Amino acid sequence: MTPSAAETIAISSSGLAVTVSTLGAELQSIQDAAGNDLMWNGDPAVWSGRAPILFPIVGELAGGRCRVDGKDYALSRHGFARRRLFAIEARTPDAVTLRLVEDDESLAVYPFAFVLDITFSVAGSRLDVVAALTNPSDVPLPASFGYHPAFLWPLPGAGDRDGHAIRFDQPETAPIRRLDVHGLVVPEPRENPVVGDLLVLRDELFTDDALVFDQLASRAVTYGGNGGPSIRVEFPEMPDLGIWTKPGAGYVCIEPWQGHADPVGYDGEFAAKPGVVTVAPGETRLFAMGITVEATDPV
């Protein structure tokens, strides 16, 4: 049954208190054992998001069109899941599973049956988020999926913004991609601002929107400043990563993706788009992200 109103759900462990909204299955807050709030508060005067779920696309489509079997469907940036009410499928004190399935509204813009279950669970100082995309139909299901959590910049007790950085698990030497004014991936590679394995955060990195890592060696990063808590984000099945903020804002988004925005000029079928995966009939594909709060170690 489709819920009629959004609900905020609290789950907790010995080290974390987490809230999640059924609207968009969006993570609302993470608080560590010391009571520090670690996530952006969704101030609509700056950016109303906190951690939207990106489905069935990541980023922008060329012309806002999703082409399926030669027919174009209008699908807006990051897809529709972030604006839909999810049903509560299961719930315990330390975990909750939220579910979204196709309906007439989704079929009008994305003509596929699907079951999207997103499970949030906490243990100690770790939050695990696992999205399970199931294809209940007898035709292949093409999709992209992404996470978009916004962490405070600066983090509490970690000094000012200038001291914050993201450390990758591996040296990142491949060129990155940038977006044009329409949010599409520019084909020419751009210089990678990571030095070795370290990206020192500064506002001017984001004057041209997000940093798009589509040749990523790492499957985990650690974000922090000078003291205070640091945050490790793991994404073992996700090949792409976006890092984004609005220059001067109080957050930085660390975004594991399966797929990314259309390349400039892309005019092909959605299923053939770079980064789109296909779930076979009756099969399930998992997209996992782990967030661990590490007490006082700086990056």
Domain range list for the chain: 8-294
Q: Give the type of residue at 23.
A: L
Burial 26-65 (b: 16+ CB within 10 A, else e): bbbbbbbeeebebbbebeeeebebbbbbbbbbbbbbbeeb
Q: What is the pLDDT of residue 263?
A: 94
240-295: per-residue pLDDT in tens? 999 999 999 999 999 999 999 999 999 999 999 999 999 999 999 999 999 999 97
Q: What is the pLDDT of residue 53?
A: 98
Backbone angles phi, psi at 150, to 5 degrees: -110, 115
Q: What is the pLDDT of residue 166?
A: 98
What does the block give as tokens for 169?
């698990």
List own/partner pairs for 25-33 with CB under 8 A and 24 or more apart: 25/53, 25/81, 25/86, 25/98, 25/100, 25/118, 26/50, 26/51, 26/52, 26/53, 26/82, 27/51, 27/120, 27/129, 27/149, 30/127, 30/291, 30/293, 32/125, 32/229, 32/293, 32/295, 33/125
Q: Please classify residue 272 by burial: count the beta carbons closer than 10 Å to its beta carbon, then call 0-12 exposed, 13-18 middle and 19+ buried.
A: exposed
Q: What is the pLDDT of residue 298?
A: 45
CATH code for residues 8-294: 2.70.98.10
- pTM equals 0.95
Q: What is the pLDDT of residue 296?
A: 61
CB 50 within 8 A of CB 151: no
In tens digits, the chain (299 residues) has pLDDT values of: 566 789 999 999 999 999 999 999 999 999 999 999 999 999 999 999 999 999 999 999 999 999 999 999 999 999 999 999 999 999 999 999 999 999 999 999 999 999 999 999 999 999 999 999 999 999 999 999 999 999 999 999 999 999 999 999 999 999 999 999 999 999 999 999 999 999 999 999 999 999 999 999 999 999 999 988 999 999 999 999 999 999 999 999 999 999 999 999 999 999 999 999 999 999 999 999 999 999 765 44
